């Protein structure tokens, strides 16, 4: 696999590793919350989602295209603003991840805890690659976010299809 122009040779491996870390951390938090009895089996952020081919396609598009681009862009802008205000990149990443976790919790309370570590990874990815440019950091973080969302999207689509 050849990396995009300007990126080092190991860039694709970094993206895959970051995606694996973000997804495994989210799954670990989810498993912990389930083990503690804080998440009921079958519960989730879309418990009453409608079904049908167009709605299913809309969910897939939203989770694999729209959400990663919009959420990651806002996260990258917040991190950039934070560092301009002289916050360390690490603090800016944590604050951005906390914001997105809080917003996800508004849809379903446990979701914020589940996605927090993933947003830390997305933020770290942006910080890691923004030395090339804002766009390079944003594209890298967005790709990690998209790869992260593949498994949850597949699970959601299967659950919508099974109803």
pLDDT tens string 14-23: 999 999 999 9
Q: Which pLDDT belongs to residue 152?
A: 86
Contact 101, 115 (CB under 8 A): yes
Q: Tokens representing 68? A: 């990663």
* Domain residue extents for the chain: 53-161
Summarised one tens digit per residue, pLDDT across range 119-157 is: 999 999 999 999 999 999 999 999 999 999 999 888 877
Identify the residue with better confidence: 62 or 46: 62
CB–CB of 137/126 below 8 Å? yes
């Amino acid at each position: 696999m050849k990396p995009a122009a300007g990126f080092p040779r190991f860039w694709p491996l970094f993206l895959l590793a970051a995606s694996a870390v973000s997804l495994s951390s989210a799954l670990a938090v989810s498993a912990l919350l389930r083990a503690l009895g804080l998440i009921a089996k079958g519960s989730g952020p879309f418990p009453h989602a409608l079904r049908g081919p167009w709605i299913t396609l809309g969910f897939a598009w939203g989770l694999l295209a729209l959400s990663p681009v919009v959420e990651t862009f806002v996260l990258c802008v917040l991190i950039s603003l934070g560092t301009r205000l002289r916050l360390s990149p690490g603090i800016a990443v944590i604050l951005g991840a906390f914001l997105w976790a809080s917003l996800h919790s508004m849809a379903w309370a446990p979701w914020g805890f589940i996605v927090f570590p993933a947003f830390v990874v997305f933020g770290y990815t942006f910080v890691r690659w923004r030395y090339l440019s804002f766009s390079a950091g944003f594209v890298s973080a967005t790709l990690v976010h998209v790869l992260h969302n593949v498994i949850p999207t597949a699970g959601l689509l299967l659950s919508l299809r099974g109803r």
